[in-house]
Structure 1
Amino acid sequence: MPITMRISLRRLVALSGALLLASVALEQARAAEALSLDQALQTAVANNPELAAARWDVEIAQGARQQAGLIPNPVLALDAEDTRRDSRTTAIKLSQTLELGGKRGARVEVASRGQDAVDLELERRRNLLRAEVIEAFYAALRAQERSQLAERSLALAERGLNVAQGRVTAGKASPVEAARAQVQLSQMRLESNRAHMDQGNAYRRLATVSGVSTVGFSAVQAPSQLLPSVPAATALLARLEQTVELRLAEMAIVQGEAALGLEKSQRIPDLDISLGSQYDASARERVNLVGLSMQIPLFNRNQGNVLSAARRADQARDLRNAAELRLRGETREALDQWATAENEVQSFNRVILPAAQNAVDSATRGFQMGKFNFLEVLDAQRTLIEARSQYLMALAQTTEAWVRIERIYGDLTLLDRSR
C-alpha cells in the first residue's frame, strides 16, 4: 500500500510538472500571436506592395539619368544616282551630330535632379506608410479595448440583472426592475457583437496596410508607453526645413531651374558633320566628301518653351512658400489637438473612469441593500459606458494628431534622438 501511494505521488508530481510546462508553452504561444507596433512596421516595410512599387522608381530614374548622358548615334547613309552600272554615281557618308550649347550637360542635370526627387518621394512614401501603420495599429488597439470594455459592460449588465431578479424573487422590488435590467443586458449584448465585428475589421485593415492578405495575429500588443509625449512646438517647427515635403518643394524649384537651363540650351542649334566618299562610274573617279550643316535660328529660337520653363520655376517657388505656410499651420493645429486630447485621456484615466466605476459599484450595492431603485443603477451604468466611449474618442483624437505629425516629420523617435 505505501509503495502504491509513492508511485501515485510521483505520477501526480510528474503530471503537475507537465501541466505547468504546457501552460507556460500556451502563454508563450499566445504572446507570440500578439502583434506589436514594431512588428507591424517591419512587416509593412518588407511586404507593402505600394512601397515595393515605389522602390522601382529609383531604378527607373537611374535609367533616365543614364540615357540623358548618351550622345547621339552617328548616321550612315548610302546614296546612288542613276541605276545604270556604267554611269552610276555612288556616295557613302557618315554623319555625326555635335550638340552645342551644353544640351547634354543640361539633360544630365535634369535627370540627376529627377533622381534626387525620386529618392525624396520614396522617403515620403515610407513616412506615409509608417503613419498609416500607426493609425491602423492604434485603431485596432482601440477596437480591441472597446471589445474588452463591451465585455465588462456585458458582465456589469448581467450582474445587474442577477441583483434585480434576486430582489424581485425576495419580494423587495417590482418585476419592472428585472425587465429594465433585461433590456439593459440585451443592449450590452448588441454592443458587444458590434465591438467584436469592428475589432475583426480593424485587424483586417491592419493586416492589409502591412501588406499581408490574412490576419496572422490574435491580438495587438499595447506598447509600454501607450502614446509618445507631445513634442515642443518650437523644436518641431525649427525642423520644418528638414521635412520631406518641404524638401520636395525645394527640389521642385531646383528641377524647374534645371528644366529652364535645358530649354535655354535648345536655342543654340546643333552642328552636323559628315564625312564620306563618292565614286563616279562614268569618269571612274572617287572624291572625298566633307559636309557641315546647322539650322539657322531665324524664327524658332525655342522662346516659347523658355518662357514656359521660367514661369514653372516661378510657380514652384510660390508652391514652396505655400507648402511651408500649410505645414506650419498643420503642425500647430495637430499639436493643439494632441495636447488637448492628451489632457482628456489623462483626466479619464485619473478621475472620470474611476469615479464612474465607483458610482456603478455604489449604486449596485445600494440597490442590493434596498437603498436605491434600479433606475439609479442604470443611470450609473450608462454614465460609465458613456465615459468609456468618450475615453476611446479622446484616445482616437490623440492618435490622429500623432499620425498627422508623423506624416509631416517622419519618425518622431528619430527626432528625439537627434536633439
Structure 2
Amino acid sequence: MPIPRKIAWLCLLWAACASAQASQGLSLAQALDAAFANNPELAAASRETGIAEGERRQAGLIPNPELSWEVEDTRRATSTTTVTLSQALELGGKRGARIAVAGSGQAIAQLDLERQRNGLRADVVQAFHAALRAQTALELAQQSQALTERGLRVVQGRVTAGQTPPVEATRAQVQLAQAQAQVRRATTQRSVAYQALARLTGSPQASFDQLQAASLSPGAAPSADSLLARVEQTVEWRLAAAQVARGEATLGAEKAQRVPNLTVSLGSQYSREDRERVNVVGLSMPLPLFDRNQGNVLAAARRADQARDLRNAVELRLRSDTHSAVSQWHTAMQEVDAYDRTILPSAQQAVDTATRGFERGKFAFLDVLDAQRTLIEARGQYLDALASATDARAQVERIYGDLDPSRHLSISRSSND
C-alpha cells in the first residue's frame, strides 16, 4: 500500500506542475523584456549601429598608394622600363570632413535605434492593454451571460406559476442567446489580442493564457507643460538635430572637394639601350578650371537648410502631438473615474433592484432587460474610455520614452483610495 500511495502523490504533484506550466501569466514588464530581447524588427534596427561603425572606420582611411609599371619600345635591346610608386595626398581637410560625416551617421544610427525602442515599447504597452481589455471584456461578457441566465430562470419560474405571460420567457431566451454570442465574440477578440501581443514579443503564438496587471487604468495624465519643457530632450528632436549636423558636415565635405588633391610619384627608369638607370620624381594636380564642385556644394547647402526646416517641423509636430495626447488622456481618465465612481455601480444596482423587483412582481421583465442592456453598454463604454486613455499614454511614451512607473503607481493607489 505505501508504494501505490507514493505513486499517487507523485502523479498528483506532476499534474499540478503541468497545470501550473500550462496556465502561464504574463505581466507588462515581462512582455517588454521579451520584446526587447526577441523582436526581430528591433534586432534589425540594431544592426544599423554596426553598419555606421563600418562606414566611420572606412571614412578614416587614407587612399592606397598606386604602383605602375610601363615599357617604352617593346624591342628588347632598346626598351625602357619605368616603375613608379604614386601616392595621392588629400588636401583641404577631406579626410576630416569624411570622418565628420560618418560620425554624424553613427549618432543618427544610435538615435534611430533609441527611437525604435521607444516605438516598440509604446506598441507593447498599447497591445498589452488592448489584450488586457479584451480579457476583461470576456469576463464581463461571461458575467452578462450569468445575469441573463438568472433572469431566464426567474422568468421561467414565474411563467410556470402563471404569474407572467410566456412571451417574457421568449424575450429572456433571446437575451440569453445574444449574451452567448457576445461571449463567443469576446473569446475570439481576446485570442486575436493575445496573438498581436505575442508577435511583438517575438513569438509566433501566444504562450500565455492570462495577463497579470494590478489595474486596467494607465494612470493619470502628466502635465503638458512638464512634457513640453523636455521636448528638446526627446529622441525625435535629437534625431532631427543630428540630421542638421550631418547636413552641415556634408556641406563641409563638399566644400573640401573644391581643393584638388596632390599626387606624388617616385620611381625608377632603366634604359637597356643606354644601360643606365635614372630616378623619376613627379607631381600632378588637377586644375580646377571648370569643375570646382560648385553644384554639389549648392545641393549640400540646400539639404542643410532643408534639415533645419524639418527639425522645426518636427518640433512643431511634437508640441502639437503632446497637447493632443495629454488632452485625450486627461479627458478619458475623467470618463474612467466617472464610470468607476458612479455609472457602473449605479448600473449594477439598477440591475439588482430590477431583478429583485421582478421576482416579487413589482417590475415587468422589460425593466430587467433595460437595466441589463444599460449595464452592458456602460461596461463597453468604460472599456472604450480606457482604450482612449491607453492610446494617449502610448502616444506620449512614443515621444518621451518610458514615463516614471512609480508616479503612475502612486496615482493609481490614491485614486483607488
TM-score, reference length from structure 1 = 0.92
Equivalence map 1:3-402=2 (5 Å): 33-223=24-214, 226-402=217-393
Structure 1 pair 252–358 and aligned structure 2 pair: CA distance change class (3 A)? same
Secondary structure at 1:93 match in 2: strand
CA distance in 1, matches of 2:183, 2:382: 17
CA distance in 2, matches of 1:101, 1:390: 67
Q: CA deviation at 1:44?
A: 0.3
Runs (5+) with no aligned partner, structure 2: 409-417
Secondary structure at 1:300 match in 2: coil
CA distance in 1, matches of 2:214, 2:331: 21
* Contact 1:36–1:223 (8 Å) recurs in 2: no
Secondary structure at 2:77 match in 1: coil
Deviations along 1:302-329, one digit per CA (max 9) or x if unpaired, are 0010011111111111111111111101
Moved more, 220-229 or 61-70: 220-229
Secondary structure at 2:268 match in 1: strand
Structure 1 pair 246–271 and aligned structure 2 pair: CA distance change class (3 A)? same
CA distance in 2, matches of 1:276, 1:106: 31
CA distance in 1, matches of 2:359, 2:18: 40
Structure 1 pair 340–131 and aligned structure 2 pair: CA distance change class (3 A)? same
Deviations along 1:127-156, one digit per CA (max 9) or x if unpaired, are 000001001100100000000000001111
Q: CA deviation at 1:223?
A: 3.0
CA distance in 1, matches of 2:362, 2:274: 132
CA distance in 2, matches of 1:112, 1:415: 37
Q: CA deviation at 1:368?
A: 1.1
Moved more, 245-254 or 215-224: 215-224
RMSD: 2.4
CA distance in 1, matches of 2:64, 2:311: 40
Deviations along 1:37-67, one digit per CA (max 9) or x if unpaired, are 0000000000000111111111111000000
Secondary structure at 2:140 match in 1: helix
CA distance in 2, matches of 1:251, 1:409: 17
Moved more, 207-216 or 21-30: 21-30
CA distance in 1, matches of 2:240, 2:360: 70
CA distance in 1, matches of 2:180, 2:96: 71
Secondary structure at 1:216 match in 2: coil
Structure 1 pair 83–194 and aligned structure 2 pair: CA distance change class (3 A)? same
CA distance in 2, matches of 1:415, 1:74: 61
Runs of 4+ with deviation above 4 angstroms: 17-30, 414-417
Deviations along 1:234-292, one digit per CA (max 9) or x if unpaired, are 11111111000000011111000000000000000000110001111111111111110
TM-score, reference length from structure 2 = 0.93
Deviations along 1:45-104, one digit per CA (max 9) or x if unpaired, are 000001111111111110000000000000000000121110111100000000000000
Number of residues of Structure 1 aligned to a counterpart in Structure 2:
406
Q: CA deviation at 1:229?
A: 2.3
Q: Tell me the percent identity.
A: 59
* Contact 1:55–1:122 (8 Å) recurs in 2: yes
Secondary structure at 1:273 match in 2: strand
Moved more, 408-417 or 184-193: 408-417
Counterpart residue type for residue 250 of structure 1: A
Deviations along 1:147-196, one digit per CA (max 9) or x if unpaired, are 00000011111111111111110000010000000000001111100000
2:396 equivalent to 1:405: yes
Secondary structure at 2:162 match in 1: coil
Counterpart residue type for residue 348 of structure 1: Y
Counterpart residue type for residue 317 of structure 1: R
